Structure 1
Amino acid sequence: MEDHLDHLSLPCGRDRVCQLKDSLAEKQWIGFDLDDTLHEFRRASSAASIKVFEAMHERYGVLLDELKSLYGEILRTSTSNAFTDGKSSSEYRRERFLAVASHFSLPLEHDTPFLSQLLHLYETSLEESLELKSGALDLLKTIKRLNKKIVVITEGPQDAQEWTVQKLGISPYIDFLATTNHFKVSKTDGLFSRVLETLGITASEIAYVGDNEYRDMKPAIAEGILSFHLAENLETKPTSQKPRMNSMATPGCLNSPESTHSLHNSSPKDKDYAREVIEEGNDVYRPGGFHPVYIGDVYNERYKILNKIGYGRYSTAWLIEDLKGQVDEHRKFLALKVLSAECYGTGHDIFEKEILTHLRNGNRNLLGYKHIVHLVDDFEHEGPNGKHVCLVFQLYGETLRSFGTLFRESMIPTDLMRRFTIQLLLALDYSHEYGVIHTDIQPSNIFVKFRDYSLIESVYLKNMIVPHQDREDIQYHAIPSQPLQNSYFNESHNILEFDIALGDWGVSSFADRHLTENIQPVPLRAPEVLIKAPWDTKTDFWNLGAVILELYRAVRMFSGRVEPDGHYEVREHLAEIVDLFGPFPKTLLEKGNQDIVRDMFDEEGKVKDTPPMDRPPLDSEAFVPGLDQDRRETFVSFLRGMMKIDPAERLTSEDYLRHPCLFSSEKIETLHQTTIKLNENGYLAEEDGYPNKEAVEPFTLYHFTQPGVSMVEKIENFGLYTLGRDMERRFLRRKVYRGPGWGHLERQLWVNDGTYFPTGRRWIFRNLTMRQTVRPGAIALSPDHISGPNIKVLGFGEVLLSRICWSTSSCMFPTSDTINLTRGIWAGHRFDITTLARHEVDT
């Protein structure tokens, strides 16, 4: 906390910092202004305005300087009421742009498409330029670790400020957002007193930080609030974190924004690529738009609304209680997604419901099935704005966007990242097998599964702030989301047993029927998408590769940003790709849009008219920090295999699951006795079981049976058959018959002792079987029974196969006390599975 006080203009000497710290410690609430206090608003707004002026200049020929000068005057006039008239952000912007056009006698009022284009240009440019102030996120995290509540008291449209905090990545830390627009009163006219009344607190319980002496300090002090003035003219103290300040936010809940950095030759300002997740605001609640949801309402005669937990471009998400569900918590509490009325029935229907149903009805025995966020129920709801499709899902804790902040510098540990990567590949293997392309893989769409559903009632519902909703209001007002972050696990849970699932299939496509050709978050777009060439399931792997680096090492590969204003350009993005992965092959360029290809590329497949990239290579310490050389080279080779420029050279999930990067090393990180404990700095404590510690000896199957290791458990019948059906490439990828190919059945009928199932070169466990015969029961007795040069990779099996125990056996027909191996296509092969019961019998 003392470090953060250096950012403030203190009315005292440094000898009083401790007194101030004590004063702050007594406060239950810490308040902040938003614009130019927590983030660089003026810089972002200026960059967005310039984009609009450039478009107007190009269309109408008005000088840029004249547009800028007039807009400044209009801005000062239009904001004199501190946005207390209750209008939405789009209404304010529309009025300003029309006022500029009217002054110059421009026909903008009658050019509705161009006006809409300007409004969209402003919003996207503003989003690209958003940047937190140095140290802001650290300060917010420190306050939350001290169990304080945070309120933002700011001027501006309610919908715009909610959108801003979400895009900045600080929404999970804010307990209440108060704007002059929502309360319809300025700071100088009593906003602070209204906020105190709403929160039910006194002035002595809160401290406030602002950047403006007149608008912030004086009215707060007049209310009796301890106030701090952020001195913008002073240089802030450098923090220990990497200087990347823009966020990776998502509604409802990745990585700590200040510790996620991008390696490119422009300034470290990255656009939040959660482009499909936008604060809904109030203007979307109109006929054909969003449905007004009120806490306490019951939908479909069974689902009671408890609180808002997220929102997106086409929907809002709510925590619900199933009044007709089972007693156990994991079925009692669910998530409801209420889609906009325009999603269905307008001739441009999205595929989400169809795809979710298609994935849910697939083979539940396939390994990837459980790593998909599946649909539980669906129904239609008729409301004042139209008919809305409502989707019910099992509840998940948070996304990897916020989960990463549990770890230092937002780098997920190796073993946990390996586990997550395997599960993501299994999810893609499942969806691709059923002809579904996700098209939008990003941390905010990867969900961490619940560890303890009882915490919903004992922690989340007990501590949540119920927002005020007035059903008498003519215009419905969006309410802030309160995510389930940190309300789904406790210190007793093993962090290395966490599982994830791939969700948000709202913009996904079928392999043979695309929803749109303009897919993927912009910085994560695959080469074929950027040049408008055909794309298929292989496009997901490029997307995934970039996300894995971001989650594992907190580094973003691409930005496409160009100085001086940091705007995005496709040319810059393509140049960054060429810089890391080499020139575009002619075979791919021939398939792309030839206008783009001629404009962007030279004869060698390199990008024209771009300066040399001043970036380190992908296999450098700067790009992949914190790993030794061998591990870094292995990891980079994994990324390069997944991120081939030509999608035809990319492989399948099955192939990537074979990569040594996903195998445990000879001294792998400890996989047991790791519970969640936070140290004094709020990060996972490094104790005996912490993932960064290394085991003394190789991790073998023997270790699966030791006390404290939860890697061995009984498995269902046909376990190996499921593995074979899931991981072996299906015969001709048939749509109807989803079992193994005829060649596998032939091997079942003519079994030779010593052969392995399957024998195809694509089999993930090819070459992993030991050369000597080992009784299944003997594995639990001594690690000496397992030997061979490749034993180290067997550590891979415990994660991939959901904690089952492998063994090698030459027995032709297993005895009755093991799994019934004679009923599957593995019968008589050396690779089989045993249960704990078999170990106990042999012992």
Structure 2
Amino acid sequence: MPASDPHTEQSDAADYVPLGAIERLKRYRMGGYHPVDIGDILGGHYRVMHKLGFGAYSTIWLARDERTEKYVAVKVGTGYSHPLEVDVIACLQTSQTFDISIVRSVIPPVLDAFEAHGPNGKHPCYVTTPSGANLKRAKTSSHNGGFRLDVARAMAAQLAIAVTHIHEKGYVHGDVRLANMVLRLPFDINQLSLETLYRKYGEPMRIPVVGADGQPLTPAGPTDCIVPVWLGKTSDQIMLPEAKIMLIDFGEAYLPSLQSRYTSNAPPAYQPPEALWDRRTPMTFPSDIWTLACSLWDMVAWFPLFKSYFSKENDVTSEQVAILGRLPTGWWSAWGRKNDRLRRRFNKHGRPVDAVCYPDWETRFENAVQQPRRERGMMTMEPEEKDAFFSLLRSMLVFRPEGRITARQVLESEWMVQWARPEYERVLHGG
């Protein structure tokens, strides 16, 4: 887990003119991001060629290994990064229950690890295989805004395999959502020369960094920021043979047998309810099951299940109650004490007073899954599959964590066995 919160800005951090499409510039400070530029050498022999992305605790770069002449992805952590992330991933590269080739296809192995030193301190870095866009970006960049149903099924099976393996190795991932799932590249990037790569996907786009109120830049930050390159496909462009994903970003992963975690750093709409209403009981494997269920929904739907326009905890709770019913007694009382105005929108049984404002499960499924698919001429779920999908999600989205099924039970559920896993088998055998 991060040593400290990077969202808390330091008073001595440089002030910059805000820019879109890049990381927050104020995080270039002591203990924050490490300034990286195109052409830099990282780890002694990884020459930076482009930028792949960024997160709260890292920037990710496409580099060329000058020893092997192959492309790699280099994740450069902030001073708040999880220094044990490499150890977690290394532990996950063995299995007694899954074919190791399957494990390594859904959880990319670490090829190398080192530290980078710069004006903002010491930064843990690790090297892995390059990937395409994350699934969240693939959806938001798409004109249609969703995945084909066969593609969604195949990706869901891979995600269930990854989470099952992680849990059986004793870890909780801590942040299972589309932003942390990436598409495997549908081509061999090592066959592309740098010139071909730039011609096909674009040269690095630089955005000059400007200090607020004309203040001079400091060595802590870059003089230019690089817009991440788009190597993937949008959700509507992905065909079944290309539906190969990897679960990444283990910066929030932990061993519940050794570490107690009471809060979640996932976005509010994906946080399990115990993170909001039970700060005395540690979160463990069932907390991943909740966010896994939200992600399975996101794969087949156009909108999140617990959609909250204001991203506030109480708004998310309202959405959860509208779909799942009344909170357990202690949580229901705590919610009422914290925000009686919102709770009065529901009767004593947890049913919304205004069903239009807070639609039920069936209505959300029709509006977020079936209707968008029909409007775009895409396949919809038949009643039998819909029933199996609902049954799976209902067994995962139980308010009390001890009532949720395990990851192995998710993988062995009717929807996985009858619909998701057969599509993944087609992917493995070439569609």
Given the two structures, how large is their TM-score scaled by the length of structure 1?
0.41
CA contact (8 A) 2:136 2:179 kept: yes
Distance in 2, matches of 1:487 and 1:396, equals: 11
Displacement after TM superposition at 1:537 (Å): 0.9
Q: Secondary structure at the match of 2:392?
A: helix
Q: Secondary structure at the match of 2:63?
A: strand
Structure 2 vs 1, CA of residues 608 and 477 (structure 1 numbering), >3 Å: closer, same or farther? farther
Structure 2 vs 1, CA of residues 647 and 495 (structure 1 numbering), >3 Å: closer, same or farther? same
Q: Does 1:510 align with 2:255?
A: yes
Paired residue for 1:647? 401
Q: Does 1:359 align with 2:89?
A: no
Q: Secondary structure at the match of 1:508?
A: coil
Cα deviation per residue 1:55-86 (whole Å; 9 max; x = unaligned)? xxxxxxxxxxxxxxxxxxxxxxxxxxxxxxxx
CA contact (8 A) 1:317 1:335 kept: yes
Paired residue for 1:416? 151
Displacement after TM superposition at 1:417 (Å): 1.1
1:337-352 superposed matches below 5 A: 337-343=75-81, 351-352=84-85
Structure 2 vs 1, CA of residues 467 and 422 (structure 1 numbering), >3 Å: closer, same or farther? closer
Structure showing greater relative contact order (alpha-carbon pairs closer than 8 Å, 6 or more residues apart): 2
Picking from 246, 271, 275, the partner of 1:529 is 275
Q: Does 1:633 align with 2:370?
A: no
1:472-483 superposed matches below 5 A: 474-475=218-219, 476-483=222-229
Displacement after TM superposition at 1:494 (Å): 5.7
Picking from 61, 65, 74, the partner of 1:318 is 61
CA contact (8 A) 1:448 1:498 kept: yes
Q: Secondary structure at the match of 1:391?
A: strand
Distance in 1, matches of 2:325 and 2:334, equals: 21
Paired residue for 1:550? 298
1:738-757 superposed matches below 5 A: none
User: Which amino acid counterpart does residue 19 of structure 2 have in structure 1?
Assistant: Q
Distance in 2, matches of 1:386 and 1:372, equals: 29
User: Which amino acid counterpart does residue 226 of structure 2 have in structure 1?
Assistant: P
Paired residue for 1:91? none
User: Which amino acid counterpart does residue 327 of structure 2 have in structure 1?
Assistant: F
Distance in 2, matches of 1:609 and 1:644, equals: 16
CA contact (8 A) 2:207 2:227 kept: no
CA contact (8 A) 2:262 2:275 kept: no
1:120-199 superposed matches below 5 A: 159-162=17-20, 166=21
Q: Secondary structure at the match of 1:309?
A: strand
1:208-227 superposed matches below 5 A: none
Paired residue for 1:289? 32
Paired residue for 2:71? 333
Displacement after TM superposition at 1:310 (Å): 1.3
Distance in 1, matches of 2:43 and 2:424, equals: 43
Q: Radius of gyration: which is bigger? A: 1
Structure 2 vs 1, CA of residues 494 and 355 (structure 1 numbering), >3 Å: closer, same or farther? same
Distance in 2, matches of 1:611 and 1:456, equals: 59
Q: Secondary structure at the match of 1:480?
A: strand
CA contact (8 A) 1:317 1:337 kept: yes
Q: Secondary structure at the match of 1:379?
A: strand
Distance in 1, matches of 2:413 and 2:318, equals: 28
Q: Secondary structure at the match of 1:549?
A: helix
Structure 2 vs 1, CA of residues 445 and 799 (structure 1 numbering), >3 Å: closer, same or farther? same
Paired residue for 1:51? none
Paired residue for 1:384? 119
Structure 2 vs 1, CA of residues 505 and 619 (structure 1 numbering), >3 Å: closer, same or farther? same
CA contact (8 A) 1:584 1:605 kept: no
Displacement after TM superposition at 1:469 (Å): 9.2
Paired residue for 1:304? 47
Structure 2 vs 1, CA of residues 797 and 452 (structure 1 numbering), >3 Å: closer, same or farther? closer
Distance in 2, matches of 1:645 and 1:322, equals: 48
Displacement after TM superposition at 1:519 (Å): 3.0
1:354-753 superposed matches below 5 A: 354-360=87-93, 365-366=99-100, 367-404=102-139, 409-454=144-189, 456-457=192-193, 459-462=196-199, 463-467=201-205, 474-475=218-219, 476-486=222-232, 495-512=240-257, 513-514=259-260, 517-533=263-279, 534=281, 535-561=283-309, 567-586=310-329, 589=330, 599=338, 612-614=354-356, 615-620=358-363, 621-625=366-370, 626=373, 627=380, 628-664=382-418
Displacement after TM superposition at 1:436 (Å): 1.4
User: Which amino acid counterpart does residue 289 of structure 2 have in structure 1?
Assistant: F
CA contact (8 A) 1:429 1:654 kept: yes
Displacement after TM superposition at 1:422 (Å): 0.6
Q: How many residues align?
A: 386
CA contact (8 A) 1:398 1:483 kept: no
Distance in 1, matches of 2:225 and 2:298, equals: 31
Cα deviation per residue 1:695-730 (whole Å; 9 max; x = unaligned)? xxxxxxxxxxxxxxxxxxxxxxxxxxxxxxxxxxxx
Displacement after TM superposition at 1:642 (Å): 2.0
Displacement after TM superposition at 1:478 (Å): 4.7
Distance in 2, matches of 1:379 and 1:605, equals: 56
Q: Secondary structure at the match of 2:18?
A: helix
Q: Secondary structure at the match of 1:398?
A: coil
Distance in 2, matches of 1:619 and 1:607, equals: 19
Structure 2 vs 1, CA of residues 434 and 285 (structure 1 numbering), >3 Å: closer, same or farther? same
Q: Secondary structure at the match of 1:295?
A: coil
Paired residue for 1:280? 24
Distance in 1, matches of 2:32 and 2:424, equals: 48
Displacement after TM superposition at 1:411 (Å): 2.2
Instruction: Point out where structure 1 has 5 or more consecutive residues left out of the alignment.
Output: 1-115, 121-156, 167-250, 252-278, 344-348, 562-566, 666-792, 805-843
Distance in 1, matches of 2:250 and 2:424, equals: 29
CA contact (8 A) 1:369 1:430 kept: no
Distance in 2, matches of 1:646 and 1:578, equals: 13
Structure 2 vs 1, CA of residues 290 and 435 (structure 1 numbering), >3 Å: closer, same or farther? same
Displacement after TM superposition at 1:412 (Å): 1.1
Structure 2 vs 1, CA of residues 579 and 388 (structure 1 numbering), >3 Å: closer, same or farther? same
Structure 2 vs 1, CA of residues 387 and 365 (structure 1 numbering), >3 Å: closer, same or farther? same
